């Protein structure tokens, strides 16, 4: 019980950080979504122009529901812009659109962290969900088959830790991918004259706030990983 409360005490600050980061990105986006850019280009205009001027002709730009649901879908070869980005001619909208094109350029240029993150997607998508069930199954099996020499329960527990570790690696690799996409976005926006030197500061604030959500997510995931690892190590030590 003591360990559980200690875990909560460690986790709560990171949950607060995650909530703050989410609030920050929403408030920063709202602020600069009310600032029209001098070029009067919308998020859609920006995405299409950056793709064309970088020689990318096989990616479509689509409008999807929601706010800040923008993403690049590499297998479908689509840049999907949210309703808040697609038709808006604000500093925030073009920053977000350019960020997604940054991901397109990462794929096109063979950016190594992007390739690694893409390779980790299948495992990461199930890793965090399977970790705790595998650990619990391992403990149950270890109790049932306590006398067996194969330690089947321990192997299940280690598999759970391994799955979550892969999920953690995915989140860790995501950080340089997102920061790099933002750097590419700022560079392209200035080179194409979509934003000027004054406006790019607002774009930087939007992209930096968005990046903080990934940092907070990584910290929360790290705490959970250490928690799962502690459960397994404590259990095997008591044995």
CA 121 to chain centroid: 11
Active-site positions read 100
Distance between CA atoms of residues 161 and 106, nearest Å: 30
């Amino acid at each position: 019980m003591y360990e559980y409360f200690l875990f909560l005490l460690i986790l709560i600050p990171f949950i607060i950080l995650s909530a703050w980061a989410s609030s920050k990105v929403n408030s920063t986006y709202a602020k600069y979504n009310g600032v029209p850019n001098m070029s009067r280009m919308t998020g859609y205009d920006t995405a299409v122009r950056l793709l064309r001027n970088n020689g990318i002709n096989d990616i479509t730009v689509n409008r999807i529901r929601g706010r800040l649901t923008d993403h690049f879908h590499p297998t479908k070869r689509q840049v999907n812009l949210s309703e808040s980005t697609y038709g808006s001619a604000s500093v925030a909208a073009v920053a977000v659109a350019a960020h997604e094109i940054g991901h397109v350029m990462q794929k096109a240029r063979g950016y190594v962290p992007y390739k690694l993150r893409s390779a980790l997607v299948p495992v990461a998508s199930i890793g965090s969900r399977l970790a705790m069930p595998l650990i619990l199954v391992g403990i149950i099996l270890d109790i049932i088959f306590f006398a067996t020499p194969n330690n089947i329960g321990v192997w299940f527990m280690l598999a759970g830790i391994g799955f979550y570790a892969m999920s953690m690696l995915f989140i860790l690799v995501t950080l340089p991918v997102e920061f790099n996409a933002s750097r590419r976005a700022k560079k392209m926006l200035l080179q194409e004259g979509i934003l000027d030197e004054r406006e790019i500061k607002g774009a930087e604030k939007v992209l930096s706030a968005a990046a903080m959500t990934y940092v907070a997510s990584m910290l929360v995931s790290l705490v959970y990983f250490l928690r799962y690892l502690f459960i397994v190590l404590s259990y095997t030590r008591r044995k």
